[in-house]
Structures are given as structure tokens and as C-alpha cells.
């Protein structure tokens, strides 16, 4: 770029900067009309520049063009600008005001990252792409409007914009990238456009002021840890087209009280799963309504939901994963639907308030320590197809008084009822004759003789 293509007002001398001759000043840079491209690193680290005015005709601003201009406070873009390159205004720590032209289409990676004085941004109607980390760590940015034609907001685009309070996402957006609003600790309100399909991994992680979220009809996937550690989130509605809620999506949302999952939702990994630790450690969660097509509740999905009082496992559920409801200490009643065939290890371990369990006819296997340490459990009704009761399955269920096995029970594993010292009656079907070592010599499934160890009435 020649010296005649721009000017720096209040200049005092001529100088060569980055191999190009410029007028050296301390205030305003004016890019004159007719230039199409501002070359990369053109004004990088010029700490004297305070205002940039871009003339008509400029279409592209090269990467790092104004990077590190720490005194730059204001940029006025012309309408001809089409793209802003990667790192173009990165580390412009005094930049407060940005007015985008009407034809801007793309904002590059880290284009305005660490612009720590930037307070407000309006993404115009023509912008289609907001690059990775484009506004990352703009810590004074309070309000954000994203125009209707943006279709992709890339990873970390607004990460750690710690003053951001409100976000309106236009109808053109289909994808929110990973950690896109992560650590936006002041964010209270998010309005999703009607075409958002994917909320990326950790997209709203550590948004500790976010209180309410409605996941609209268009959303199909909620990524891993998407709302993890949103500690003020109280209510959550997931509409009927969500087909995947990934691991830890709402982990440690400690204020979450109510979750409604639409009737037609098939949730989780492979469109059939509520992922691992999805609602783990949501200590205020009291109510969960499952859609009719949920098939799998993943490992530790509701672990440490210490306010959860009642759960009905619907007709569609087939598998309850390892530790799925572990440590839900206020859970009192539990109904397991007819199509559950496997209850995995520790599924309801240490549910101290659980009093009654009805196990549907579809269950064939009760895993190890499934109801271990459920000290209030008094009544268990087994479905007619249970074949195996795992090791320690009811260990230390000290209130359990009656146990009834029907015809299909074949195996009672080691210490399955150890420490159940209140058991008064035991009914065993015709496939279980006695608990004795001699069964190891028969053609029947072995029942370990310690299965009822320390049950004083047995």
C-alpha cells in the first residue's frame, strides 16, 4: 500500500513501518476511497492510533491489520466491507465503538478478541459467519444482537464475555459452536432463533446467572456439557424434536427444579440415550417428566439429585445405567415400566428415603448394589421375568421386611441381601429351592450360600 492510499491526521513525521512508508501520527487513520484490500499486519501494534475511518471501496481487511493497537477507540466501517480477517482488531484494548457496514459477510477468527472495552455489538443482516473466538474475552460487552442471516457461530465466539447479559440469536443460525457463550457469567436471557439445530459442547458452560432456558422445536442436539455449571438455572423445557442430549449437558445445575422433556423426544447418544451425568448433581431438581420414547437412561444421569422425590420410568425405557439415580437421597417412590430389561449396577444406590419399588415384568437382570444402602426400603415387588439378582443388590436395606421371588428367578448372587436384618418373610419360586452349597452340583444356576448373610430371621 502506498503512502497516498491513506493518511494519519496530526502526523509529525514520515516513517517506514513493517516495510511500508506511512505518515506517523497519534490520532486518526483514514483509508482513502478505492482501495479493495488492506494488507495483513498493516498497522499492527501502532499504539498511537485512536480512530480508524475506512473509505468506500474497501472490501477486505487483512489478518492482524490493527492487532495490538491498544489506543484505538473507534472504527467506522464503510458499506463495501465484505470480510474482516483473522485477528484484525485483536488486543485493541481501548476499542469501545464498532459500526459495521451493511454488506459485511464474515468476521474472522479472533477478529475482536480481547477488545476489553467493547460494550455493544450488532451483527448486521448480511453477516453469515462469526469465526472462532471472534469476540472472546470482550469483558465489557453487555448486549448482543445477531442478524437473521448468520448461519454459524463458531467455537468460543463469545467466550468469557463476562458482562454479557442478553443474547438474541437470529433465525438464520443453525449451529452454535463449542463453548460459544461459555463463562458468560452475567448472561441472564437467551432467545434462540427458530432454526437452531445444534447447541455445541459446553456452549453455555459456567453461565452462572442464566435462570431459564427453553430449547425450541428446531433443536435436535444438545452437546456435551452444554449448560454445565449453570448454577442459577431453575427451569428447563426441552421440546419434542430434540434427539440427542449428550453427556453432562446439565451437570451441576444446582438450582434446577423442573425438567420437562417433550413426549416425542428420543434422547441421548444414538437418538435413544440420556447421556452420562446429564443432570448429575442438580441438587434442586424435584420433578422429571420423561417422553414416551426414551430408551436408555445413562450412567450417573441423575446422580446426586438430592431433591428428587418421585420417578416414573416410562414404557419406552429399556436400560437404566450404572449409578443413574445414585445418591438421590429424597427419592421415595419408584415405578419401573414394563419394558426395562436391565437395571445396571448402583442404579439406585444410597437412595436413603426410597420406601417402595415396583419392578416391571420386562426386567431380567438386577445389577450389583442396585438398591444397596436404601435404608428406608420396605417393599419390593418383583416382575415375573427377573432371572438374576446381583451381588449386594439389596445390601443394608435395613427396613426391608418382605421378599418375594416368583418363578423365573434363577440366580441370587453373593451377599445380595447382606445386612437386611429386618427380613421376616421370604417367598421363593419353584426354580429356587434352597440356599445351599449343594446347588453347585446340580443342573440349576448356582445360588451362593452367603446371599442372605446376617439376615437374622433367615
pLDDT in tens, 392-402: 999 999 998 87
68-122 residue pLDDT tens: 999 999 998 889 999 999 999 999 999 998 888 889 999 999 999 999 999 888 8
pLDDT exceeds cutoff 60 at 172: yes
Q: Which CATH number fits domain 309-458: 3.40.1280.10, 3.80.10.10, 1.20.140.10, 3.30.70.270?
A: 3.80.10.10
Of 49-58, 157-166, 341-350, 433-442, the least confident: 433-442
The domain limits of the chain are 1-118, 309-458
Per-residue pLDDT at 143: 81
- 450 pLDDT band, cuts 50/70/90, is low
174-183 residue pLDDT tens: 889 999 999 9
Per-residue pLDDT at 8: 47
Does 309-458 match 1-118 at the fold level? yes
pLDDT exceeds cutoff 70 at 445: no
CA-to-CA distance for 282 and 25, rounded, in angstroms? Answer: 57
pLDDT exceeds cutoff 80 at 26: no
- 205 pLDDT band, cuts 50/70/90, is very high
pLDDT exceeds cutoff 70 at 222: yes
290-307 residue pLDDT tens: 767 788 889 999 999 998
264-280 residue pLDDT tens: 333 333 335 688 999 99
30-69 residue pLDDT tens: 887 778 899 999 999 999 899 888 878 899 999 999 999 9
Find out if CATH 3.80.10.10 is the number for domain 1-118. Answer: yes
Amino acid at each position: 500500500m502506498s503512502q497516498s492510499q491513506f493518511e494519519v491526521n496530526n502526523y509529525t513525521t514520515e516513517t517506514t513501518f513493517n516495510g511500508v512508508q506511512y505518515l506517523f501520527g497519534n490520532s486518526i487513520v483514514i483509508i482513502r476511497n478505492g482501495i479493495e484490500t488492506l494488507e495483513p499486519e498493516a498497522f499492527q501494534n501502532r499504539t498511537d492510533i485512536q480512530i480508524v475511518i475506512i473509505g468506500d471501496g474497501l472490501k477486505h481487511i487483512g489478518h492482524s491489520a490493527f492487532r495490538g493497537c491498544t489506543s484505538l477507540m473507534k472504527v467506522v466501517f464503510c458499506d463495501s466491507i465484505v470480510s474482516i480477517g483473522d485477528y484484525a482488531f485483536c488486543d485493541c484494548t481501548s476499542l469501545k465503538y464498532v459500526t459495521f457496514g451493511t454488506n459485511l459477510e464474515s468476521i474472522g477468527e479472533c477478529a475482536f478478541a480481547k477488545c476489553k472495552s467493547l460494550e455493544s455489538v450488532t451483527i448486521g443482516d448480511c453477516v453469515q459467519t462469526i469465526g472462532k473466538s471472534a469476540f472472546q474475552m470482550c469483558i465489557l460487552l453487555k448486549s448482543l444482537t445477531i442478524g437473521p442471516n448468520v448461519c454459524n457461530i463458531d467455537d468460543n465466539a463469545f467466550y468469557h464475555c463476562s458482562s454479557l447479559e442478553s443474547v438474541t440469536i437470529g433465525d438464520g443460525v443453525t449451529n452454535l459452536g463449542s463453548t460459544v457463550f461459555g463463562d458468560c457469567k452475567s448472561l441472564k436471557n437467551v432467545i434462540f432463533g427458530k432454526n437452531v439445530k445444534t447447541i455445541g459442547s459446553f456452549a453455555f458452560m459456567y453461565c452462572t446467572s442464566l435462570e431459564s432456558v427453553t430449547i425450541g422445536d428446531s433443536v435436535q442436539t444438545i452437546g456435551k456439557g452444554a449448560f454445565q455449571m449453570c448454577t442459577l438455572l431453575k427451569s428447563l423445557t426441552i421440546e419434542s424434536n430434540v434427539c440427542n442430549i449428550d453427556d453432562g449437558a446439565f451437570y451441576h445445575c444446582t438450582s434446577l427444579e423442573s425438567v420437562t422433556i417433550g413426549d416425542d423426544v428420543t434422547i441421548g447418544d444414538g437418538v435413544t440415550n440420556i447421556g452420562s451425568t446429564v443432570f448429575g448433581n442438580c441438587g434442586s431438581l424435584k420433578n422429571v417428566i420423561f417422553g414416551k420414547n426414551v430408551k436408555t437412561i445413562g450412567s450417573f444421569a441423575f446422580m446426586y439429585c438430592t431433591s428428587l422425590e418421585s420417578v416414573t420410568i416410562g414404557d419406552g425405557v429399556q436400560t437404566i445405567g450404572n449409578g443413574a439415580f445414585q445418591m438421590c437421597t429424597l427419592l421415595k417412590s419408584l415405578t419401573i415400566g414394563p419394558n426395562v430389561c436391565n437395571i445396571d449396577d448402583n442404579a439406585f444406590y444410597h437412595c436413603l428415603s426410597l420406601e417402595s419399588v415396583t419392578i416391571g415384568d420386562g426386567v431380567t437382570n438386577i445389577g450389583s448394589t442396585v438398591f444397596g444402602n436404601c435404608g428406608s426400603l420396605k417393599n419390593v415387588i418383583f416382575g415375573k421375568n427377573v432371572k438374576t439378582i446381583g451381588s449386594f443388590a439389596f445390601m443394608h436395606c435395613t427396613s426391608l421386611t418382605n421378599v418375594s421371588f416368583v418363578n423365573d428367578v434363577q440366580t441370587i448372587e453373593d451377599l445380595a441381601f447382606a445386612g437386611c436384618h429386618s427380613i421376616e418373610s421370604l417367598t421363593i419360586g419353584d426354580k429356587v429351592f434352597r440356599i445351599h452349597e449343594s446347588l453347585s452340583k446340580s443342573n440349576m444356576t448356582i445360588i451362593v450360600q452367603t446371599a442372605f448373610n446376617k439376615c437374622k430371621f433367615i
